[in-house]
């Protein structure tokens, strides 16, 4: 598995696409924060909240793109058969690529956090950080982001078209809370929406342990389905 992770990182670093994505993400976060500050100073609170929501969703958008790109890299390059023929078990190939996607997500979270805080300092919108609240909230948001990444990666590996995979992934990330809530109404469990990945990602320290457990179980099921589909696929 280590060979797969190293190979993916070599491709990411030398392809420069990941670095470009991080620069674009940072620029969008800075621009969004500046616009948000301007709107707030003009009294446009509703628009400022909309812009704030947009800024908060940017990291997930980039996580989806990078996870799907990693999932489809060998397929698009026509090198997947070569990787499998090296004798590396398909399960390790799949896991190595997923671990690479997880590492990318962690870097995106770190860059987003640093740039967002720096932008907030520049605009005077930052407050005092309480580590007792910040660290648990960061941990929960990171776990939810990794759960999203697992879903994005499996979708990217299962759907041949990169464009469709990205569209489906973004739709799910935007609508998962509404979908959970609607399903909860159908089955008579009104609190089901609180178990959506998006709800957990946004809630931070307000999350209950059971929500985390359910999220981890769902992610493991998604991972298992994705791995078995990958192992059963006819590689050409």
Closest CA to 148 of 83, 82, 223, 86: 223
Return the residue matching tokens 């620069």.
Answer: 23
pLDDT higher than threshold 90 for residue 6: no
**Any idea which of 38-47, 62-71, 215-224 has the lowest mean pLDDT?**
38-47
C-alpha torsion angle, residues 195, 162, 171, 98 (rounded to 10): 10
Q: Nearest to residue 53, comparing CAs of 41, 65, 35, 67?
A: 35
pLDDT value at 130 more than 90: no
* Three-class DSSP category at 236: coil
Nearest to 90 by CA among 221, 228, 236, 220: 228
Residue 43 zone, left/alpha/beta (φ > 0; ψ -120 to 50; rest): left
pLDDT score of 221 more than 90: yes
pLDDT value of position 178: 73
Q: Average the pLDDT over 171-187 and give the result.
A: 74
Mean pLDDT across 75-90: 72
Write out the H or E segment, with its range, that includes residue 220. helix 209-232
Q: Mean of the pLDDT values across residues 96-107?
A: 93
Residue 231 pLDDT > 60, yes or no?
A: yes
pLDDT at residue 53 greater than cutoff 70: no
Q: Summarize the confidence of residues 145-152 as an average pLDDT.
A: 92
Given a cut of 80, whether residue 27 has pLDDT beyond it is yes
Please, what is the average pLDDT of the chain?
Answer: 80
What pTM, to 2 d.p., does this model score? 0.84
pLDDT of residue 56: 73
Is 69 or 49 the better-scoring residue by pLDDT? 69
**pLDDT of 43 higher than 80:** no
Query: What is residue 119's predicted lDDT score, i.e. its pLDDT?
Result: 78
By percentage, how much of the chain surpasses pLDDT 70?
Answer: 81
Task: For 108, list phi and psi in degrees, rounded to 5.
Answer: -60, -40
Q: Is the pLDDT of residue 132 over 90?
A: no
Domain ranges of the chain: 2-232
Report how far residue 7's alpha carbon sits from residue 174's, in angstroms, rounded to the nearest whole number: 32
Q: How far apart are CA 70 and CA 61, in angstroms?
A: 15
Mean per-residue pLDDT for 210-226?
A: 90
The Cα–Cα gap between 148 and 136 comes to: 19
Q: At 137, is the pLDDT very low, low, confident or very high (cuts 50, 70, 90)?
A: confident
> What pLDDT does 236 receive?
60
């Amino acid at each position: 598995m280590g060979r797969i992770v190293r190979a993916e990182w070599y491709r990411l670093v030398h392809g420069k696409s990941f670095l470009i994505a991080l620069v674009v993400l940072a620029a969008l976060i800075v621009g969004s924060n500046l616009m948000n500050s301007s709107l707030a100073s003009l009294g446009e609170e509703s628009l400022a909240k909309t812009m704030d929501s947009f800024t908060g969703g940017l990291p997930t958008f980039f996580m989806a793109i990078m996870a799907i790109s990693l999932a489809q890299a060998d397929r698009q390059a026509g090198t997947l058969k070569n990787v499998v023929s090296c004798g590396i078990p398909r399960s390790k190939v799949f896991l190595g690529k997923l671990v690479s996607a997880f590492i990318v997500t962690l870097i995106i979270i770190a860059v987003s956090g640093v740039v967002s805080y720096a932008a907030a300092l520049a605009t005077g919108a930052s407050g005092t950080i309480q580590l007792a609240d910040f660290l648990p909230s960061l941990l929960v948001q990171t776990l939810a982001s990794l759960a999203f990444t697992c879903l994005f990666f499996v979708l990217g590996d299962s759907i041949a078209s990169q464009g469709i995979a990205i569209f489906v992934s973004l739709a799910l990330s935007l609508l998962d809370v509404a979908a959970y809530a609607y399903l909860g109404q159908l089955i008579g469990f009104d609190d089901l929406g609180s178990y959506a990945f998006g709800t957990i990602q946004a809630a931070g320290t307000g999350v209950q342990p059971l929500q985390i457990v359910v999220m981890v179980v769902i992610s493991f099921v998604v991972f298992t389905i994705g791995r078995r589909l990958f192992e059963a696929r006819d590689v050409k």
